[in-house]
Structures are given as structure tokens and as C-alpha cells.
Amino acid sequence: MLWWTWYIFVPDEPESPKNLRVKEVWTNFITISWDAPEKDGGSPITGYIIEKRDALRPMWLKAGTVEAGQTTFKVQGFVGTSFCWNILRKIRSPSLH
């Protein structure tokens, strides 16, 4: 009788970006920044997706993307009174070999 052993790597959930803050505010743009997560959960972070939402509306809109090493984003043509911001991390999907 033969026995087979299979090892499956299941990465942990990566931490979210932290300490989101507004760095600069001008009449036509703002710059936001954040701290990268300390733990990637075993799947390298490949970038970030920046979303914005008018404080009076329920829908999030994509404001842009940045590469993994960058933790600031300049929002051009910024018009409005009150916005909410969300930073999502992009990860490389684990592959099975």
C-alpha cells in the first residue's frame, strides 16, 4: 500500500494599509499617504488601489492605483467638500505547482 502526502500552502490574510492621512491640500488637488502593512500574509503586495466616495453617497469610485513601494497618491482635479478614502492592497494570487 502506498501513502501520498500532499502539502498545500494557504497564505494568511494580509494586513490592511494603516494610518491613512491627508498630506497636502490645495484648491485643485490633495495628496494622501498611508503606511504599508507589516505582514503580507505570504502573498507579496503588488500595489494599491485608491478609492474615493462622496460623504453623502454610498458608492466607492476608483481614484487610481500605485505600485507596491509607493504609499502616497496625488488626486488631481479634486472638487468637492467632503470625501471618504479607502486604500486596498493588491496581492499576487498564490499559484499551485
Mean pLDDT of 54-69: 90
In the numeric block, which cell numbers belong to residue 91?
496581492
Q: How many CA atoms lie within 13 A of 54 on its CB side?
A: 7
Calpha distance 50→38 (Å, rounded): 19
Mean pLDDT of 31-60: 88
Rg (CA), the chain: 18
User: For 89, phi and psi rounded to 5 degrees?
Assistant: -95, 140
| pLDDT tens sequence across 2-11 | 667 666 655 5
Mean pLDDT of 39-61: 87
How many CB atoms neighbour CB 16 within 10 A? Answer: 12
Mean pLDDT of 27-51: 87
CA max distance for the chain: 75
Asked whether the predicted pLDDT for residue 96 surpasses 50, the reply is no
With a pLDDT cut of 70, the percent of the chain lying above it is 78
Asked whether the predicted pLDDT for residue 95 surpasses 50, the reply is yes
Domains of the chain: 18-91 (2.60.40.10)
Calpha distance 1→74 (Å, rounded): 63
Calpha distance 5→85 (Å, rounded): 46
Q: Give the pLDDT of residue 97.
A: 45
